[in-house]
Amino acid sequence: MKIVTTAQALPVANEIPRILESDDHLAWVWKPNHLLVHRTDLAMHDLLNLKDWILETTDWSFAQPINRLDRPTSGLVLVARDVDALKMVSEQFAQHAVAKTYLAIVRGWTEDEGVIEKPLPTSHNSTPKEAITTYKTLGRAELPLAITRYETSRFSLVECTPQTGRFHQIRLHLKHLKHPIIGDTAHGDKPHNRYFAQHLNQPYLLLHSGELTLEHPHTALEKTVQAPLPEHWKQTLDQLGWSDSFSTFGSSDSTQSGS
């Protein structure tokens, strides 16, 4: 099933959302690439967004996304099912008490691990604020592809953990390292993006929100939920020799419907 939007210049979501897990207070929802989390003034004509999809496909009276993913980013969105849960978990995010793990495929070979500390503006304020991202390299590949002036092309599979939550933080921090994410049309490398889209059938931003860990607002127990990679990652991981990494965040079959 393809979710069509009016933004014809952008790739469209080619998978449907899924409720991975839910209880009476929270839901963990899988978002495909190029689906808005909620309606915005800048995209009022999009035919679907994640919040509307939840309300249309469940009998829930309240569903408010707590964390925000960029439209082109896939992965885990945490949704409050009541006002108290929204308030308590939002406070955890504000205090940077929620652990967030992302996976990205980037241009070049990254260091084994590192910490990126570069202040960034927020979505509402142009004044740079503290922004910290830690990362570690899970895999490296070199292919005989002359995408630019070099005879070969190098790529890295990187696990990123943002310690803060600035606008486009991971995307801008990896660009700062000169290792932009493949498929990032705003901050990435145009020749590599074009090659992946035209020759590898991969027009999507290769950034995925794969795991969230937080304290459940009603049980006070630590809760970790993972979101499987989109299906379109599988071919790219195979081509780069990272097939085993497709199950990094669990199987795409290990989902369940909310009640």
Task: Output the domain CATH number for residue 180.
Answer: 3.30.2350.10
- Establish if 256 belongs to a structural domain: no
Q: What is the mean pLDDT of residues 230-241?
A: 94
| Number of domains composing the chain | 1
CA distance 237 to 93: 31
User: Is 84 marked active-site?
Assistant: no
- 10 pLDDT tier (thresholds 50, 70, 90): low
CA distance 71 to 80: 20
pLDDT the model gives residue 259: 29
- Given the residues 46, 59, 70, 238, the one annotated as active site: 70
Q: Which residue has the higher pLDDT, 23 or 256?
A: 23
Q: What angle do CA 190, 194, 145 make, to 5 degrees?
A: 100
Residue 204 DSSP class: S
CA distance 8 to 34: 11
pLDDT the model gives residue 251: 54
- Establish if 12 belongs to a structural domain: no
* Percentage of the residues of the chain whose pLDDT score is greater than 90: 80
- Establish if 1 belongs to a structural domain: no
Inform me whether the pLDDT recorded for 43 exceeds 70: no
pLDDT the model gives residue 187: 96
Which residue segment(s) compose the domain that 134 sits in?
A: 18-247
pLDDT the model gives residue 6: 37
CA distance 44 to 38: 10
